[in-house]
Amino acid sequence: MSVEFNSSLGQLDVDYLNPKAADENLKMRPYGDEPSGCGRMCRRRPFKTAAVFLGLLCLLLLAGIISLQVHYTKVGDVHDSEMRDIQTKYNNLTDKQNKLQNNYSNLKQDRNLLETKYINLTRERHQLQISYDTLTKLRDDSQTSLTSLRKQRDDLRNEKIQLAAEKEELQRRFELVTSSRDGIQEELNSLSLNMTEKPCQQGWTKFNGSCYYISTSSKTWIKSKKDCEDRGANLVIIDNRKEIDFITRFNDRTWIGLSDTVREGKWTWVDGTDLQVGAGFWQRGEPNDADDGEDCVELSRSGKGWNDVPCSNKFSWVCEE
Ligand code: MMA
Ligand code: CA
């Protein structure tokens, strides 16, 4: 190993591990004053001491350098390890930062999207609000129209009810007037008939163009018939319900000119005409020829119709001319 020592006093190159070479090196060097009396030996001693000292110094330096080297190597290792940790932490933090950056970017995008959606929704809401207002107004107008129409309908219903009541009243009055008119017409017809035809005999009553004799006593059917013939007339022949109403005004039970004396069940009028089967104004269940002995016909007020009875019964009678 060779050491280069630079000093302001001069330059000295010594190989301490090779003392021979060093000696040679020293031999080559020129010297000024040398201590007298020591000769060659005396001249070489201080150099040796210096060399030893230098060597020791060099060893010390070397040891210092080595210990420093070891120290710094250790420090460097710790430093490297710390650096690696820091680097790892830095990398982790960088990763985290990147992730956060990504998250931030994503969130920013999301926020922009949400903002766009919010704007669109706000616009839509505005449109819907306009539609809602329009519809509300329309509904209110419709409601008003509906209320008005309902009122009109109710008024019309009431009017209809009133008109129906008025119609019924008018109908009733019309029927009364019609009935009264028919009655007047009939009376008029009867009066005009009575005026145009010849008057009835004394004690006879005119009704509907005919003259009637109303008996004041009671007789059998045969005697009643004879009485009428004696008066130039016949026992009454009934043509309609009005004639019944007229006759029953006077007595409860009255002989009429109908019998089946000639042939049982064949009802014949005193003028010889036959009563049609199923015709007439019989009471319910009549004629029944009770006890096989009822061949003459009475008109009963209480029975409101005809009944066959025994001819021997005595009733009032009515003649018709
Ligand atoms: C009943 C009934 C008549 C009948 C009479 C006779 C009261 O009525 O049978 O058909 O002519 O009796 O009196
Ligand atoms: Ca009878």
The pLDDT score that the predictor gives to residue 42 is 47
Question: What is the mean predicted confidence (pLDDT) over 128-135?
Answer: 92
The pLDDT score that the predictor gives to residue 247 is 98
Question: What is the mean predicted confidence (pLDDT) over 60-82?
Answer: 82
The pLDDT score that the predictor gives to residue 194 is 66
More confident residue, 250 or 34: 250
User: What CATH code would you report for 200-320?
Assistant: 3.10.100.10
What would the pLDDT profile of 75-91 be if each residue is shown by its tens digit?
778 878 888 888 888 88
- pLDDT of 199 above 50: yes
Question: What is the mean predicted confidence (pLDDT) over 302-320?
Answer: 98
Best CA proximity match to 298, nearest among 265, 256, 267: 256
Pull the structure tokens for residue 236: 């009454």
Q: Hey, which residues does 14 pair with through a beta bridge?
A: 3
The pLDDT score that the predictor gives to residue 33 is 43
300 lines ligand 1 (CB under 6 A): no
Angle at 185 between CA 182 and CA 191, to 5 degrees: 140
Whole-model pTM over 0.75 = no
Ligand 1 pocket mutation pick from 282, 288, 312 by most atoms within 8 angstroms of CB: 288
Domain ranges of the chain: 3-27+37-86, 200-320
Distance CA 218, CA 212 (A): 16
311 lines ligand 1 (CB under 6 A): no
**CA of residue 308 to ligand 2 center, whole Å:** 4
The pLDDT score that the predictor gives to residue 72 is 74
More confident residue, 30 or 141: 141
Cβ atoms within 10 Å, residue 18? 13
Atom of ligand 1 nearest to the CA of 307: 11
Atom of ligand 1 nearest to the CA of 288: 10
- pLDDT of 21 above 50: no
**Whose structure tokens read 């009255």?**
254
Distance CA 139, CA 147 (A): 12
Question: What is the mean predicted confidence (pLDDT) over 150-158?
Answer: 94
3-state SS class at 81? helix
**Which of the listed ranges 93-107, 132-146, 221-235 does the model predict with the highest average pLDDT?**
221-235
- pLDDT of 41 above 70: no
Our measurement of the distance from residue 312's CA atom to the centroid of its chain's CA atoms, rounded to an integer in Å, reads 86
What would the pLDDT profile of 156-197 be if each residue is shown by its tens digit?
999 999 999 999 999 999 999 999 999 888 888 877 776 777
What would the pLDDT profile of 211-244 be if each residue is shown by its tens digit?
999 999 999 999 999 999 999 999 999 999 999 9
309 lines ligand 1 (CB under 6 A): yes
- pLDDT of 147 above 50: yes
Question: What is the mean predicted confidence (pLDDT) over 114-141?
Answer: 92
Phi, psi of 168 (to 5 degrees): -60, -45
User: What's the chain's average pLDDT?
Assistant: 85
**CA of residue 160 to ligand 2 center, whole Å:** 56
The pLDDT score that the predictor gives to residue 66 is 85
The pLDDT score that the predictor gives to residue 44 is 58
The pLDDT score that the predictor gives to residue 68 is 80
Percent of the chain surpassing pLDDT 70: 85
Ligand 1 pocket mutation pick from 299, 309, 314 by most atoms within 8 angstroms of CB: 309
The pLDDT score that the predictor gives to residue 43 is 54
Which DSSP state fits 274? B
The pLDDT score that the predictor gives to residue 78 is 80
Contacts of 254 (CB under 8 A, 6+ apart): 236, 247, 248, 298, 299, 315, 316, 317, 318
Question: What is the mean predicted confidence (pLDDT) over 277-301?
Answer: 97
Atom of ligand 1 nearest to the CA of 285: 10
Percent of the chain surpassing pLDDT 90: 60
**CA of residue 287 to ligand 1 center, whole Å:** 9
Distance CA 32, CA 10 (A): 14
**Which of the listed ranges 9-23, 56-70, 99-113, 143-157 does the model predict with the highest average pLDDT?**
143-157
